[in-house]
Amino acid sequence: MKLDIIRKIIGGILLVSLISLIFFQPIQQYIAMPKSITVFEGQDYTVQKAAPVSATLASHESNITLDQEKHAVSIKANKKGSNEMLLEFAGIPIKKVDVHVLKDFRVIPGGQSIGVKLNTVGVLVVGHHLINTDNGKKSPGEIAGIKIGDIITEINGNKIEKMTDVAPFVQNAGQDGKSLDMVISRESGKFTTKLTPLKDKGEKTYKLGLYIRDSAAGIGTMTFVHPQSKKYGALGHVISDMDTKKPIVVEDGQIVRSTVTSIEKGSNGDPGEKLARFSSDREIVGNIQKNSPFGIFGELNKDLKNGVLDKPLPIALSHQVKEGPAKILTVVNDDRVEEFDIEIVSTIPQKFPATKGMVIKVTDPRLLEKTGGIVQGMSGSPIIQNGKLIGAVTHVFVNDPTSGYGVHIEWMLNEAGINIYDTPKNKAS
C-alpha cells in the first residue's frame, strides 16, 4: 500500500517537472526555433536564445560565422553553402539547425501604375439571354448545357480565339438549319455539346443566347522586375472576370503605362479606387504570360523606372519578415511613384506558397488623407522593410480600409519562374 502511494507521489513529481520543463523559457525557444534557416549572401539572421545556451558550427568553413550575445545569436552569411548550427546547454547538444546560404539575389522594386489587358483562351461565357423566337423565348446556349464561366474553345473543329470568330459559324449554321459542335472548357474539364442557333424575330439574325467576352482590362501596380531576365510580377492577386467572379484563363496579354487621374477615397464598408487611364500612346511595355493567385507575370520589352528606387534590392524570405515599420511604393497622382509608411501587423513564415502571408496597416498621414488607406488599383505595390523587398499589397479589409493583406515576395518570384533557391527545385526550406 505504501509502495503504491510512493509511486503515485513520484509520478506526480515527474509530471509536474515535465510540465514545468515545457514552460521553461529556453525549452519554449527551442521548440519555436526552426529546424532549417535559409539566408542570402551578405545577410544576417538573428535567433533568440537563453543565456546559458551556446551555439557552435558543425563545420568551420568560412561560409557562415556566428556572433553570440547573451540572449541571441546572429548568423552572418558570408558565401553560398550549407552548415549546421549546434545549440548546447551545459555542454549537452539540445538542437541542430541546418543553415543554408543562397547566392546573392536582387530585383528592382516597382510601384508604377500599369494598364492591363488580358486576352482569354477562347471566349468566356458571362451570361445567358433569351431569344424571341416564333416558338417563344429560349436560350440555345442554356439548352445546350453551357454555363456562366464556361469557355468556348472550338466550334465545328475550328479554334476560337476572339468574339469575331464566332459570328460566321452562328449565321451559317442558322441558315442551313444545322447544329454547332461546341468544345467547352470548364473548371472540371473539357466537354462537347451541340448548340442550335435560333433566329430572333425582331432582328432577323441567328443567335446563341449567350453573352460572351474575349478580353478584360484594368489597372494595377508593378511589384518587381528581375534585371537579368526582364521577367516581372504585378498585382499580387489573380484577375477574375467581373461578371463570373472566376479567374480569367489567359491566352496572352499586354501591359502599358498608366496615369492615375483621381482617387475615390475608401471608407468603412466601401473600399476606394484609383481612377486611371492608359497612357496616351498606349505603348506596350510588356506581355502577360500568366494570371495566377499570386498576380500577373510576363516579360518587359521596355525599361520601367520608378524614380525612387531604381536599383536592385535584396529580398527577404517569408521567415525573415518582421513585425514593425515598412514602406510601400505606389502612385496616387499622375504617374509619380512615392514612398509611404506602413506597419507589418503580423507575418506568417510560410513553408509553402500561400497568398495571405502578412497583415499590413497604412500609417502614413499623407496616404490616409489622400486615399483613406488601401484602395483598388494599389494591389501589387511593393513592400520594403530594412532595405529589402519583402512582398506586395494584395487585398484591403472592407470594414477597415487602412488595413489589408500582403503576399510574400518569394511566392511571386516562384510564380514568375525565377529560381531564387539556386537549386533544381523551387522549394523553400
Paired sense of beta strands 358-362 and 400-408, if any = antiparallel
Using CA of residue 330, residue 333, residue 336, residue 338, what is the dihedral sign? negative
CB 339 within 8 A of CB 306: no
Cell of 304: 520601367
Cell 416558338 sits at which residue?
135
Residue 342 in grid coordinates: 506602413
Question: Using alpha carbons only, how large is the chain's radius of gyration in Å?
Answer: 29
Instruction: Tell me the three state secondary structure of residue 408.
Output: strand
Closest CA to 367 of 274, 282, 291: 274
Q: What angle do CA 281, 286, 287 make, to 5 degrees?
A: 120
What H or E segment, with its residue span, contains residue 124? Answer: strand 113-128
Q: Which residues contact 132 (CB under 8 A, 6 or more apart)?
A: 200, 201, 202
How many whole angstroms separate alpha carbon 89 and alpha carbon 151? Answer: 63
Q: Please, which residues have CB within 8 angstroms of residue 305's CB and are 6 or more apart in sequence?
A: none
SS3 194: strand
Scan for cell 455539346, then name that residue.
193
Half-sphere exposure of 328 (CA within 13 A, CB side): 32
Task: Read off the C-alpha cell for 105.
Answer: 539575389
**Nearest-CA neighbor of 397 among 375, 381, 367?**
375
Distances (CA, A) of 311 to 104, 235, 326, 414: 15, 21, 18, 21
Closest CA to 239 of 185, 293, 284: 293
Q: Please, which residues have CB within 8 angstroms of residue 122's CB and are 6 or more apart in sequence? A: 151, 152, 153, 154, 160, 161, 185, 214, 251
Annotated active-site positions, please? Answer: 237, 364, 379
